[in-house]
Protein backbone atom coordinates (compact mmCIF):
# COMPACT_ATOMS: atom_id res chain seq x y z
CA UNK A 1 0.00 0.00 0.00
CA UNK A 2 1.22 3.50 -0.85
CA UNK A 3 0.87 6.60 1.30
CA UNK A 4 1.95 10.06 0.33
CA UNK A 5 4.78 11.63 2.27
CA UNK A 6 4.74 15.41 2.36
CA UNK A 7 7.61 17.25 4.00
CA UNK A 8 7.44 21.00 4.35
CA UNK A 9 9.31 23.45 6.53
CA UNK A 10 8.92 26.94 7.91
CA UNK A 11 5.17 26.86 7.37
CA UNK A 12 2.85 29.48 8.83
CA UNK A 13 0.69 28.25 11.70
CA UNK A 14 -2.49 29.05 9.78
CA UNK A 15 -1.33 27.04 6.76
CA UNK A 16 -0.04 24.07 8.73
CA UNK A 17 -3.24 23.68 10.72
CA UNK A 18 -5.52 24.25 7.72
CA UNK A 19 -3.59 21.64 5.74
CA UNK A 20 -4.03 19.02 8.47
CA UNK A 21 -7.77 19.64 8.81
CA UNK A 22 -8.43 19.86 5.07
CA UNK A 23 -6.58 16.60 4.42
CA UNK A 24 -8.48 14.80 7.22
CA UNK A 25 -11.79 15.84 5.68
CA UNK A 26 -10.71 14.96 2.13
CA UNK A 27 -9.17 11.61 3.05
CA UNK A 28 -12.43 10.70 4.84
CA UNK A 29 -14.29 11.43 1.59
CA UNK A 30 -11.78 9.44 -0.48
CA UNK A 31 -10.82 12.63 -2.32
CA UNK A 32 -7.22 12.46 -1.16
CA UNK A 33 -4.82 9.59 -0.50
CA UNK A 34 -3.75 8.75 3.04
CA UNK A 35 -0.93 11.15 3.83
CA UNK A 36 1.90 11.43 6.31
CA UNK A 37 3.14 14.99 6.80
CA UNK A 38 6.43 15.60 8.55
CA UNK A 39 6.85 19.34 8.84
CA UNK A 40 8.07 22.27 10.87
CA UNK A 41 6.51 25.62 11.63
CA UNK A 42 8.05 29.02 11.18
CA UNK A 43 9.76 29.89 14.48
CA UNK A 44 7.80 30.49 16.62
CA UNK A 45 4.11 29.94 17.01
CA UNK A 46 2.03 29.20 20.09
CA UNK A 47 -0.80 26.74 19.51
CA UNK A 48 -3.60 26.22 21.99
CA UNK A 49 -5.76 23.10 22.12
CA UNK A 50 -9.16 23.04 20.44
CA UNK A 51 -11.11 24.36 23.43
CA UNK A 52 -8.58 26.32 25.42
CA UNK A 53 -8.97 30.03 26.06
CA UNK A 54 -5.98 31.86 24.60
CA UNK A 55 -5.79 34.36 27.46
CA UNK A 56 -5.65 31.56 30.01
CA UNK A 57 -2.85 29.71 28.28
CA UNK A 58 -0.69 32.24 26.44
CA UNK A 59 1.07 35.47 27.37
CA UNK A 60 -0.49 37.28 24.43
CA UNK A 61 1.35 40.57 24.90
CA UNK A 62 4.73 38.85 24.97
CA UNK A 63 3.86 36.99 21.77
CA UNK A 64 2.74 40.17 20.04
CA UNK A 65 5.91 42.00 21.09
CA UNK A 66 8.12 39.17 19.83
CA UNK A 67 6.42 38.22 16.56
CA UNK A 68 5.13 34.90 17.86
CA UNK A 69 1.89 33.96 16.11
CA UNK A 70 -0.95 32.43 18.05
CA UNK A 71 -3.40 29.89 16.67
CA UNK A 72 -5.77 27.11 17.66
CA UNK A 73 -5.40 23.43 16.74
CA UNK A 74 -8.29 21.21 15.65
CA UNK A 75 -6.97 18.63 18.12
CA UNK A 76 -7.36 18.83 21.88
CA UNK A 77 -4.87 18.98 24.71
CA UNK A 78 -2.65 21.74 26.03
CA UNK A 79 -0.82 24.76 24.64
CA UNK A 80 2.55 24.25 22.93
CA UNK A 81 5.18 26.24 21.12
CA UNK A 82 6.34 25.09 17.69
CA UNK A 83 9.21 26.16 15.47
CA UNK A 84 12.20 24.89 13.53
CA UNK A 85 13.26 22.50 16.31
CA UNK A 86 9.91 20.84 16.84
CA UNK A 87 8.76 18.22 14.33
CA UNK A 88 5.06 18.25 13.45
CA UNK A 89 3.70 14.84 12.48
CA UNK A 90 0.26 14.60 10.90
CA UNK A 91 -1.20 11.34 9.64
CA UNK A 92 -4.53 11.54 7.83
CA UNK A 93 -6.36 8.31 7.06
CA UNK A 94 -9.96 7.24 6.47
CA UNK A 95 -11.77 6.41 9.71
CA UNK A 96 -14.49 4.20 8.36
CA UNK A 97 -15.82 2.41 5.32
CA UNK A 98 -12.68 0.41 4.79
CA UNK A 99 -11.82 -2.44 7.11
CA UNK A 100 -8.14 -1.79 6.59
CA UNK A 101 -8.51 1.40 8.59
CA UNK A 102 -11.33 0.44 10.92
CA UNK A 103 -9.61 -0.28 14.21
CA UNK A 104 -9.25 3.07 15.92
CA UNK A 105 -7.38 1.87 18.97
CA UNK A 106 -5.07 -0.18 16.82
CA UNK A 107 -4.50 2.86 14.61
CA UNK A 108 -3.56 5.01 17.60
CA UNK A 109 -1.27 2.24 18.74
CA UNK A 110 0.30 2.03 15.29
CA UNK A 111 0.63 5.80 15.03
CA UNK A 112 2.49 5.85 18.32
CA UNK A 113 4.45 2.79 17.31
CA UNK A 114 5.63 4.56 14.15
CA UNK A 115 7.02 7.35 16.29
CA UNK A 116 8.46 5.01 18.92
CA UNK A 117 10.20 2.81 16.32
CA UNK A 118 11.73 5.88 14.72
CA UNK A 119 12.98 7.13 18.08
CA UNK A 120 14.31 3.67 18.94
CA UNK A 121 16.47 3.82 15.82
CA UNK A 122 18.19 6.77 17.46
CA UNK A 123 18.66 4.82 20.66
CA UNK A 124 15.89 6.70 22.46
CA UNK A 125 13.89 4.38 24.73
CA UNK A 126 10.51 5.99 24.15
CA UNK A 127 7.15 4.50 25.07
CA UNK A 128 3.51 5.37 24.44
CA UNK A 129 1.45 6.61 27.36
CA UNK A 130 -2.21 6.03 26.65
CA UNK A 131 -4.14 9.00 25.35
CA UNK A 132 -1.68 11.69 24.60
CA UNK A 133 2.01 11.31 25.34
CA UNK A 134 5.12 9.52 24.22
CA UNK A 135 7.65 9.65 26.98
CA UNK A 136 11.10 8.60 27.98
CA UNK A 137 11.22 7.37 31.57
CA UNK A 138 8.24 9.50 32.56
CA UNK A 139 9.42 12.63 30.73
CA UNK A 140 7.26 13.87 27.88
CA UNK A 141 8.91 13.91 24.46
CA UNK A 142 5.92 13.90 22.10
CA UNK A 143 2.36 15.22 22.54
CA UNK A 144 -0.40 13.40 20.65
CA UNK A 145 -3.91 14.33 19.56
CA UNK A 146 -6.71 12.86 17.47
CA UNK A 147 -9.35 14.75 15.48
CA UNK A 148 -12.25 13.07 13.72
CA UNK A 149 -13.48 15.12 10.75
CA UNK A 150 -17.19 15.22 9.85
CA UNK A 151 -16.37 12.96 6.87
CA UNK A 152 -15.02 10.34 9.29
CA UNK A 153 -11.42 11.01 8.26
CA UNK A 154 -8.99 10.80 11.15
CA UNK A 155 -6.11 13.15 11.88
CA UNK A 156 -3.47 11.79 14.22
CA UNK A 157 -1.23 14.65 15.23
CA UNK A 158 2.03 14.72 17.13
CA UNK A 159 4.46 17.44 18.15
CA UNK A 160 7.92 16.04 18.75
CA UNK A 161 10.51 17.99 20.70
CA UNK A 162 13.76 17.62 18.79
CA UNK A 163 14.93 20.51 20.90
CA UNK A 164 13.24 23.11 23.08
CA UNK A 165 14.09 26.53 24.47
CA UNK A 166 12.46 26.02 27.85
CA UNK A 167 13.01 29.60 28.99
CA UNK A 168 11.24 30.85 25.87
CA UNK A 169 8.41 28.40 26.37
CA UNK A 170 7.92 29.64 29.93
CA UNK A 171 7.82 33.23 28.67
CA UNK A 172 5.20 32.32 26.04
CA UNK A 173 2.92 30.04 28.04
CA UNK A 174 1.06 30.90 31.20
CA UNK A 175 2.44 28.63 33.89
CA UNK A 176 1.75 28.10 37.58
CA UNK A 177 5.10 29.75 38.35
CA UNK A 178 4.98 33.24 39.76
CA UNK A 179 8.44 34.10 38.48
CA UNK A 180 10.87 32.68 35.98
CA UNK A 181 14.16 31.59 37.52
CA UNK A 182 16.68 28.79 37.01
CA UNK A 183 14.72 26.76 39.57
CA UNK A 184 11.52 26.93 37.52
CA UNK A 185 13.40 26.11 34.33
CA UNK A 186 14.98 23.11 36.07
CA UNK A 187 11.57 21.98 37.30
CA UNK A 188 10.16 21.99 33.77
CA UNK A 189 13.30 20.37 32.40
CA UNK A 190 12.62 17.55 34.85
CA UNK A 191 9.17 16.94 33.32
CA UNK A 192 9.97 16.99 29.62
CA UNK A 193 12.82 15.92 27.39
CA UNK A 194 14.02 16.32 23.81
CA UNK A 195 15.56 14.12 21.15
CA UNK A 196 18.83 16.03 21.39
CA UNK A 197 18.95 15.62 25.16
CA UNK A 198 18.21 11.91 24.93
CA UNK A 199 20.76 11.28 22.18
CA UNK A 200 23.34 13.60 23.69
CA UNK A 201 23.95 15.07 20.25
CA UNK A 202 23.05 18.00 18.02
CA UNK A 203 21.20 15.67 15.67
CA UNK A 204 19.69 17.48 12.68
CA UNK A 205 15.91 17.68 12.45
CA UNK A 206 16.10 16.19 8.94
CA UNK A 207 17.76 13.09 10.35
CA UNK A 208 14.97 12.75 12.91
CA UNK A 209 12.41 13.20 10.13
CA UNK A 210 14.01 10.36 8.15
CA UNK A 211 13.96 7.87 11.02
CA UNK A 212 10.36 8.78 11.88
CA UNK A 213 9.35 8.12 8.27
CA UNK A 214 11.10 4.74 8.52
CA UNK A 215 9.22 4.06 11.74
CA UNK A 216 5.88 4.56 9.99
CA UNK A 217 6.89 2.33 7.08
CA UNK A 218 7.69 -0.39 9.58
CA UNK A 219 4.66 0.07 11.89
CA UNK A 220 2.01 0.32 9.16
CA UNK A 221 3.76 -1.79 6.50
CA UNK A 222 3.26 0.89 3.84
CA UNK A 223 5.38 2.53 1.18
CA UNK A 224 5.85 6.26 1.52
CA UNK A 225 5.85 8.09 -1.78
CA UNK A 226 7.36 11.59 -1.59
CA UNK A 227 4.74 13.97 -2.89
CA UNK A 228 3.17 17.40 -2.57
CA UNK A 229 -0.29 18.87 -2.19
CA UNK A 230 -2.39 18.76 -5.36
CA UNK A 231 -3.66 22.03 -6.78
CA UNK A 232 -7.15 21.10 -5.61
CA UNK A 233 -5.86 20.50 -2.09
CA UNK A 234 -3.96 23.78 -2.17
CA UNK A 235 -7.15 25.63 -3.07
CA UNK A 236 -9.09 23.98 -0.22
CA UNK A 237 -6.32 24.59 2.29
CA UNK A 238 -6.11 28.23 1.31
CA UNK A 239 -9.89 28.62 1.62
CA UNK A 240 -9.90 27.00 5.08
CA UNK A 241 -6.91 29.10 6.10
CA UNK A 242 -8.66 32.32 5.08
CA UNK A 243 -12.05 31.44 6.53
CA UNK A 244 -10.91 29.79 9.75
CA UNK A 245 -7.29 29.77 10.79
CA UNK A 246 -6.68 33.43 9.93
CA UNK A 247 -9.90 34.43 11.67
CA UNK A 248 -9.78 35.97 15.15
CA UNK A 249 -13.20 34.39 15.79
CA UNK A 250 -11.52 31.00 15.58
CA UNK A 251 -8.28 31.79 17.37
CA UNK A 252 -9.72 33.84 20.24
CA UNK A 253 -13.00 31.99 20.76
CA UNK A 254 -14.01 31.44 24.36
CA UNK A 255 -15.20 28.28 26.00
CA UNK A 256 -18.14 28.10 28.36
CA UNK A 257 -16.25 25.82 30.71
CA UNK A 258 -14.07 28.05 32.86
CA UNK A 259 -10.75 26.82 34.16
CA UNK A 260 -10.66 26.48 37.91
CA UNK A 261 -7.63 26.01 40.11
CA UNK A 262 -7.19 24.38 43.47
CA UNK A 263 -4.24 23.51 45.63
CA UNK A 264 -3.60 21.54 48.80
CA UNK A 265 -0.65 20.93 51.10
CA UNK A 266 -0.28 17.85 53.25
CA UNK A 267 2.49 17.47 55.83
CA UNK A 268 4.01 14.03 56.21
CA UNK A 269 7.00 12.61 58.04
CA UNK A 270 8.71 12.34 54.66
CA UNK A 271 8.13 15.98 53.83
CA UNK A 272 5.51 18.42 52.57
CA UNK A 273 3.38 17.54 49.55
CA UNK A 274 2.10 20.58 47.62
CA UNK A 275 -0.40 19.78 44.85
CA UNK A 276 -1.97 22.23 42.37
CA UNK A 277 -4.59 21.20 39.82
CA UNK A 278 -6.26 22.99 36.95
CA UNK A 279 -9.72 21.73 36.10
CA UNK A 280 -12.02 22.11 33.10
CA UNK A 281 -15.40 21.32 34.62
CA UNK A 282 -15.05 17.81 36.00
CA UNK A 283 -11.84 16.98 34.13
CA UNK A 284 -8.36 17.45 35.61
CA UNK A 285 -6.48 19.29 32.85
CA UNK A 286 -3.16 19.49 34.64
CA UNK A 287 -1.60 18.60 37.95
CA UNK A 288 1.60 19.96 39.45
CA UNK A 289 3.14 18.12 42.37
CA UNK A 290 5.76 19.96 44.37
CA UNK A 291 6.89 20.24 47.97
CA UNK A 292 10.03 19.33 49.86
CA UNK A 293 9.71 15.55 49.91
CA UNK A 294 12.38 13.48 48.17
CA UNK A 295 11.21 11.38 45.24
CA UNK A 296 12.45 10.36 41.86
CA UNK A 297 11.88 13.17 39.37
CA UNK A 298 10.69 10.62 36.83
CA UNK A 299 8.14 9.16 39.25
CA UNK A 300 6.67 12.59 39.95
CA UNK A 301 6.57 13.40 36.23
CA UNK A 302 4.88 10.05 35.63
CA UNK A 303 2.25 10.76 38.26
CA UNK A 304 1.54 14.24 36.87
CA UNK A 305 1.21 12.86 33.35
CA UNK A 306 -1.18 10.15 34.54
CA UNK A 307 -3.47 12.75 36.06
CA UNK A 308 -3.49 14.98 32.97
CA UNK A 309 -6.91 14.98 31.23
CA UNK A 310 -8.17 12.59 33.88
CA UNK A 311 -11.66 12.36 35.30
CA UNK A 312 -11.92 13.87 38.79
CA UNK A 313 -14.06 11.03 40.13
CA UNK A 314 -12.36 10.28 43.49
CA UNK A 315 -12.31 6.48 43.07
CA UNK A 316 -10.69 6.76 39.64
CA UNK A 317 -8.16 9.34 40.85
CA UNK A 318 -7.25 7.04 43.74
CA UNK A 319 -6.92 4.04 41.42
CA UNK A 320 -4.57 5.94 39.10
CA UNK A 321 -2.35 7.16 41.94
CA UNK A 322 -2.19 3.69 43.47
CA UNK A 323 -1.23 2.23 40.10
CA UNK A 324 1.68 4.66 39.72
CA UNK A 325 2.90 4.00 43.26
CA UNK A 326 2.69 0.26 42.56
CA UNK A 327 4.71 0.55 39.35
CA UNK A 328 7.31 2.81 40.96
CA UNK A 329 7.80 1.11 44.28
CA UNK A 330 10.45 2.81 46.36
CA UNK A 331 10.72 5.88 44.13
CA UNK A 332 8.47 8.01 46.35
CA UNK A 333 10.79 7.43 49.35
CA UNK A 334 8.37 7.00 52.21
CA UNK A 335 5.42 8.96 50.81
CA UNK A 336 2.38 6.72 51.02
CA UNK A 337 -0.16 6.62 48.17
CA UNK A 338 -2.99 7.40 50.61
CA UNK A 339 -1.36 10.73 51.45
CA UNK A 340 -0.91 11.62 47.79
CA UNK A 341 -4.55 10.67 47.15
CA UNK A 342 -5.59 12.93 50.03
CA UNK A 343 -3.59 15.88 48.65
CA UNK A 344 -4.87 15.50 45.07
CA UNK A 345 -8.45 14.94 46.22
CA UNK A 346 -8.33 18.06 48.39
CA UNK A 347 -6.89 20.15 45.54
CA UNK A 348 -9.63 18.88 43.20
CA UNK A 349 -12.33 19.63 45.78
CA UNK A 350 -11.01 23.18 46.19
CA UNK A 351 -10.96 23.69 42.43
CA UNK A 352 -14.57 22.48 42.29
CA UNK A 353 -15.54 24.96 44.99
CA UNK A 354 -13.79 27.75 43.08
CA UNK A 355 -15.63 26.62 39.94
CA UNK A 356 -19.00 26.74 41.73
CA UNK A 357 -18.26 30.24 43.01
CA UNK A 358 -17.35 31.44 39.51
CA UNK A 359 -20.54 30.01 38.08
CA UNK A 360 -22.65 31.59 40.84
CA UNK A 361 -21.05 35.00 40.34
CA UNK A 362 -22.69 36.80 37.40
CA UNK A 363 -19.60 38.97 37.05
CA UNK A 364 -17.21 36.03 37.10
CA UNK A 365 -15.37 34.62 34.12
CA UNK A 366 -18.17 32.37 32.88
CA UNK A 367 -18.55 33.22 29.23
CA UNK A 368 -20.82 31.71 26.64
CA UNK A 369 -19.11 30.65 23.44
CA UNK A 370 -19.71 32.87 20.49
CA UNK A 371 -18.52 33.47 16.99
CA UNK A 372 -18.80 31.35 13.92
CA UNK A 373 -17.22 28.21 15.28
CA UNK A 374 -19.78 26.79 17.69
CA UNK B 1 -26.13 -7.83 32.50
CA UNK B 2 -26.46 -7.95 28.72
CA UNK B 3 -24.58 -5.71 26.36
CA UNK B 4 -27.85 -3.93 25.59
CA UNK B 5 -28.14 -3.07 29.30
CA UNK B 6 -24.51 -1.92 29.48
CA UNK B 7 -25.05 0.47 26.59
CA UNK B 8 -28.61 1.55 27.35
CA UNK B 9 -30.47 2.56 24.20
CA UNK B 10 -34.05 3.61 25.08
CA UNK B 11 -36.71 2.50 22.61
CA UNK B 12 -38.67 5.77 22.76
CA UNK B 13 -36.51 7.53 20.18
CA UNK B 14 -34.64 7.03 16.90
CA UNK B 15 -30.88 6.81 16.30
CA UNK B 16 -28.41 7.78 13.61
CA UNK B 17 -26.75 4.52 12.63
CA UNK B 18 -23.33 5.99 11.99
CA UNK B 19 -22.86 8.87 14.40
CA UNK B 20 -24.80 7.61 17.42
CA UNK B 21 -26.91 10.70 17.85
CA UNK B 22 -30.49 10.21 19.05
CA UNK B 23 -33.59 12.09 17.85
CA UNK B 24 -36.87 12.16 19.79
CA UNK B 25 -39.96 13.61 18.14
CA UNK B 26 -42.21 15.67 20.41
CA UNK B 27 -45.77 15.44 19.04
CA UNK B 28 -46.90 18.43 21.12
CA UNK B 29 -44.54 20.85 19.37
CA UNK B 30 -43.56 18.84 16.29
CA UNK B 31 -39.96 19.54 17.30
CA UNK B 32 -37.17 17.00 17.74
CA UNK B 33 -34.88 16.70 20.76
CA UNK B 34 -31.34 15.62 19.87
CA UNK B 35 -28.51 14.16 21.93
CA UNK B 36 -25.76 11.55 21.84
CA UNK B 37 -26.30 7.91 22.79
CA UNK B 38 -24.36 5.79 25.28
CA UNK B 39 -22.43 3.91 22.61
CA UNK B 40 -21.28 7.18 21.09
CA UNK B 41 -20.23 8.35 24.55
CA UNK B 42 -18.42 5.10 25.28
CA UNK B 43 -16.28 5.63 22.20
CA UNK B 44 -15.45 9.19 23.26
CA UNK B 45 -14.91 8.98 27.02
CA UNK B 46 -15.61 11.84 29.44
CA UNK B 47 -16.57 15.05 27.64
CA UNK B 48 -14.45 18.06 28.61
CA UNK B 49 -15.91 20.66 26.25
CA UNK B 50 -18.98 21.00 24.05
CA UNK B 51 -20.03 23.79 21.70
CA UNK B 52 -23.42 23.96 20.00
CA UNK B 53 -24.71 26.05 17.13
CA UNK B 54 -26.97 28.90 18.16
CA UNK B 55 -30.75 29.08 18.18
CA UNK B 56 -31.97 30.16 14.75
CA UNK B 57 -29.11 28.51 12.86
CA UNK B 58 -29.95 25.80 10.37
CA UNK B 59 -28.40 22.37 10.42
CA UNK B 60 -28.28 19.68 7.79
CA UNK B 61 -28.41 15.93 8.37
CA UNK B 62 -24.86 14.56 8.28
CA UNK B 63 -23.25 17.91 9.00
CA UNK B 64 -21.94 19.52 12.19
CA UNK B 65 -24.29 20.91 14.82
CA UNK B 66 -21.47 21.49 17.29
CA UNK B 67 -18.08 20.24 18.43
CA UNK B 68 -16.64 18.39 21.37
CA UNK B 69 -13.45 17.48 23.13
CA UNK B 70 -13.49 14.22 25.02
CA UNK B 71 -10.94 12.05 26.73
CA UNK B 72 -10.19 10.20 23.49
CA UNK B 73 -10.47 12.82 20.72
CA UNK B 74 -11.92 16.05 19.39
CA UNK B 75 -14.57 16.04 16.70
CA UNK B 76 -17.93 17.25 15.48
CA UNK B 77 -21.41 16.44 16.70
CA UNK B 78 -23.23 15.36 13.56
CA UNK B 79 -26.89 16.33 13.08
CA UNK B 80 -29.17 13.28 12.66
CA UNK B 81 -31.81 15.41 10.91
CA UNK B 82 -32.05 18.70 9.05
CA UNK B 83 -33.88 21.81 10.26
CA UNK B 84 -33.51 24.89 12.39
CA UNK B 85 -32.27 24.94 15.97
CA UNK B 86 -35.08 26.27 18.17
CA UNK B 87 -33.46 25.57 21.55
CA UNK B 88 -30.12 24.46 22.90
CA UNK B 89 -29.17 23.08 26.26
CA UNK B 90 -26.64 25.54 27.66
CA UNK B 91 -26.28 23.35 30.74
CA UNK B 92 -24.41 20.79 28.61
CA UNK B 93 -22.15 23.52 27.24
CA UNK B 94 -21.20 24.83 30.68
CA UNK B 95 -21.07 21.34 32.22
CA UNK B 96 -20.31 18.73 29.53
CA UNK B 97 -20.10 16.04 32.24
CA UNK B 98 -23.90 16.25 32.33
CA UNK B 99 -24.00 14.46 28.96
CA UNK B 100 -22.03 11.53 30.36
CA UNK B 101 -24.19 11.44 33.49
CA UNK B 102 -27.60 11.71 31.82
CA UNK B 103 -27.37 11.37 28.04
CA UNK B 104 -31.11 10.86 27.44
CA UNK B 105 -32.69 13.26 29.92
CA UNK B 106 -30.70 16.19 31.29
CA UNK B 107 -27.93 15.83 28.68
CA UNK B 108 -30.01 16.61 25.59
CA UNK B 109 -28.18 19.03 23.31
CA UNK B 110 -30.48 20.86 20.90
CA UNK B 111 -34.11 20.98 19.77
CA UNK B 112 -34.56 21.11 16.03
CA UNK B 113 -37.61 22.23 14.05
CA UNK B 114 -37.29 19.53 11.37
CA UNK B 115 -37.50 20.39 7.71
CA UNK B 116 -38.05 16.83 6.46
CA UNK B 117 -38.80 14.61 9.43
CA UNK B 118 -40.89 12.13 7.44
CA UNK B 119 -38.11 11.18 5.04
CA UNK B 120 -35.11 11.65 7.30
CA UNK B 121 -36.60 9.75 10.26
CA UNK B 122 -36.97 6.77 7.94
CA UNK B 123 -33.17 6.74 7.65
CA UNK B 124 -32.80 6.46 11.43
CA UNK B 125 -33.12 3.20 13.34
CA UNK B 126 -35.97 2.77 15.85
CA UNK B 127 -38.57 0.41 17.28
CA UNK B 128 -38.19 -3.25 16.43
CA UNK B 129 -34.92 -2.60 14.61
CA UNK B 130 -33.15 -1.43 17.77
CA UNK B 131 -32.08 -4.67 19.51
CA UNK B 132 -30.38 -6.11 16.44
CA UNK B 133 -28.72 -2.79 15.64
CA UNK B 134 -27.47 -2.32 19.20
CA UNK B 135 -25.98 -5.81 19.32
CA UNK B 136 -24.25 -5.37 15.97
CA UNK B 137 -22.96 -1.90 16.90
CA UNK B 138 -21.56 -3.16 20.20
CA UNK B 139 -19.74 -5.88 18.29
CA UNK B 140 -18.50 -3.44 15.68
CA UNK B 141 -17.30 -0.87 18.22
CA UNK B 142 -15.61 -3.57 20.22
CA UNK B 143 -13.84 -5.05 17.18
CA UNK B 144 -12.77 -1.58 16.08
CA UNK B 145 -11.35 -0.78 19.50
CA UNK B 146 -13.67 2.13 20.34
CA UNK B 147 -14.97 0.34 23.44
CA UNK B 148 -13.68 -2.40 25.74
> B69–A148: do the CB atoms touch at under 8 Å?
no
pLDDT band at residue A160 using 50, 70 and 90 as cut-offs: very high
Looking at the structure, do residues A22 and A83 belong to the same domain, yes or no? yes
Does residue A98 register a pLDDT over 70? no
Task: For chain B, say whether A367 makes contact (Cβ under 8 Å).
Answer: no
Contacts of A311 in chain B (CB under 8 A): 46, 71
Average pLDDT of the residues of chain B: 89
Structural domain includes residue A372: no
**Model pLDDT, residue A209:** 98
Looking at the structure, do residues A73 and A184 belong to the same domain, yes or no? yes
Q: What is the CATH number of the domain that holds A313?
A: 3.30.390.50
How far is CA B38 from each of CA A147, B81, B87, B140, rounded to the nearest angstrom? 20, 19, 22, 15
Task: Give dist(CA B127, CA A16) in Å, integer.
Answer: 46
pLDDT band at residue A330 using 50, 70 and 90 as cut-offs: confident
In percent, how much of chain A has pLDDT > 90?
56
In percent, how much of chain B has pLDDT > 90?
63
The minimal CB distance from B51 to the residues A76, A105, A369 is found for: A369
Does residue A131 register a pLDDT over 90? no
Task: For chain B, say whether A148 makes contact (Cβ under 8 Å).
Answer: yes
DSSP-based helix, strand, coil % in chain B, nearest 5? 30, 30, 40
- Is residue A314 reached through a cis peptide bond, with omega within 30 degrees of 0 on the bond before it? no
Domain ranges within chain B, ordered by starting residue: 13-124
Task: For chain B, say whether A346 makes contact (Cβ under 8 Å).
Answer: no
Looking at the structure, do residues A77 and A25 belong to the same domain, yes or no? yes
> B49–A51: do the CB atoms touch at under 8 Å?
yes
Contacts of B147 in chain A (CB under 8 A): none
Task: For chain B, say whether A362 makes contact (Cβ under 8 Å).
Answer: no
Looking at the structure, do residues A317 and A185 belong to the same domain, yes or no? no
Q: Tell which phi-psi region holds residue B4, choosing left (phi > 0), alpha (psi between -120 and 50) or beta.
A: alpha
The answer to whether residues B15 and B122 touch, using CB atoms and an 8 Å cutoff, is no
**Model pLDDT, residue B72:** 66
Structural domain includes residue A370: no
Looking at the structure, do residues A169 and A44 belong to the same domain, yes or no? yes
CATH of domain B13-124: 2.40.50.100
Average pLDDT over residues A1-18: 97
The answer to whether residues B53 and B93 touch, using CB atoms and an 8 Å cutoff, is no
Structural domain includes residue A131: yes
Number of domains in chain A: 2
Looking at the structure, do residues A176 and A323 belong to the same domain, yes or no? no
Looking at the structure, do residues A125 and A235 belong to the same domain, yes or no? yes
Does residue A247 register a pLDDT over 80? yes
pLDDT band at residue A367 using 50, 70 and 90 as cut-offs: very low
**Model pLDDT, residue A177:** 60
Domain end call among A188, A223, A251: A251
Q: Write down how long chain B is.
A: 148
Total beta-carbon pairs less than 8 A apart between chain A and chain B: 100
Could you list the residue range(s) of the whole structural domain that residue A288 is in? 259-360
DSSP labels for A141-201? EEEEEEEE-TTS-EEEEEEEESS--HHHHHHHB--S-SS--HHHHHHHHTTB--HHHHHTS
How many other C-beta atoms lie within 10 A of the C-beta of residue A2? 11
pTM comes to 0.80
> B90–A256: do the CB atoms touch at under 8 Å?
yes
Contacts of B49 in chain A (CB under 8 A): 50-51, 255, 257, 280-281
To the nearest whole angstrom, how far is the Cα of A137 from the nearest Cα of chain B? Answer: 23
Looking at the structure, do residues A210 and A227 belong to the same domain, yes or no? yes
How far is CA A173 from each of CA A47, A59, A69, A290, rounded to the nearest angstrom? 10, 6, 13, 19
Looking at the structure, do residues A9 and A38 belong to the same domain, yes or no? yes
For A67, phi then psi, to 5°, come to 65, 30
Average pLDDT over residues A12-28: 97
Average pLDDT over residues B65-87: 90
Looking at the structure, do residues A223 and A283 belong to the same domain, yes or no? no
Task: For chain A, say whether B91 makes contact (Cβ under 8 Å).
Answer: no
Average pLDDT over residues B67-82: 87
How far is CA B14 from each of CA A154, B104, B128, B129, B133, rounded to the nearest angstrom? 27, 12, 11, 10, 12
Q: Is the ipTM of this complex over 0.95?
A: no
Domain end call among A220, A251, A282: A251
Task: Give dist(CA A339, CA A335) in Å, integer.
Answer: 7
Structural domain includes residue A12: yes
**Model pLDDT, residue A365:** 28
How, if at all, do strands B64-70 and B74-78 pair?
A: antiparallel
Contacts of B51 in chain A (CB under 8 A): 51, 255-256, 369, 373-374
Average pLDDT over residues A151-169: 93
How many other C-beta atoms lie within 10 A of the C-beta of residue A183? 9
pLDDT in tens, B83-102: 999 999 999 998 898 998 89
Domain end call among A217, A251, A285: A251
Does residue A103 register a pLDDT over 70? no
Q: Which of residues 247-286 of A touch B (CB under 8 A)?
A: 255-257, 280-283, 285
Task: For chain A, say whether B44 makes contact (Cβ under 8 Å).
Answer: no
Q: Which of residues 93-122 of A touch B (CB under 8 A)?
A: 96, 102-107
Where is pLDDT greater, at A111 or A243? A243
pLDDT band at residue A313 using 50, 70 and 90 as cut-offs: confident
Does residue A128 register a pLDDT over 90? no
Does residue B39 register a pLDDT over 90? no
Looking at the structure, do residues A146 and A270 belong to the same domain, yes or no? no
pLDDT in tens, A212-241: 999 999 998 999 999 999 999 999 999 999
Looking at the structure, do residues A212 and A299 belong to the same domain, yes or no? no
**Model pLDDT, residue A362:** 36
Does residue A354 register a pLDDT over 80? no
**Model pLDDT, residue A357:** 64
Does residue B73 register a pLDDT over 50? yes
Q: What is the CATH number of the domain that holds A122?
A: 3.30.930.10
- Dihedral (C-alpha) A336, A342, A345, A350: value to the nearest 10 degrees? -140
Amino acid sequence: MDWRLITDDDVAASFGLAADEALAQRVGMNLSQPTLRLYTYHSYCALVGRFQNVDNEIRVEYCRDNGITINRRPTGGGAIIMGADQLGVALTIPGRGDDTYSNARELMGNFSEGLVRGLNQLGVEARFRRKNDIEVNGKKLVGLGVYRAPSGGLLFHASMLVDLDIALMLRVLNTPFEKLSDKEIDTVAGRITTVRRETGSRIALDKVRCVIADGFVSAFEVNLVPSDFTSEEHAEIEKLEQEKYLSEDWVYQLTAVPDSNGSAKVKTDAGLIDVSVTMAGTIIKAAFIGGDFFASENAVADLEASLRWHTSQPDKVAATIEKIFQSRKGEFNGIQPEVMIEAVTKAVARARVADSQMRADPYGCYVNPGGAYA
Amino acid sequence: MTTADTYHIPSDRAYDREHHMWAQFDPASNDVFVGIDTLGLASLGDLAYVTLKHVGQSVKRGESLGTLEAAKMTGDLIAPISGTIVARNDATVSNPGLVNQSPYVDGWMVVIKPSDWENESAQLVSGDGLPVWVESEVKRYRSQGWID
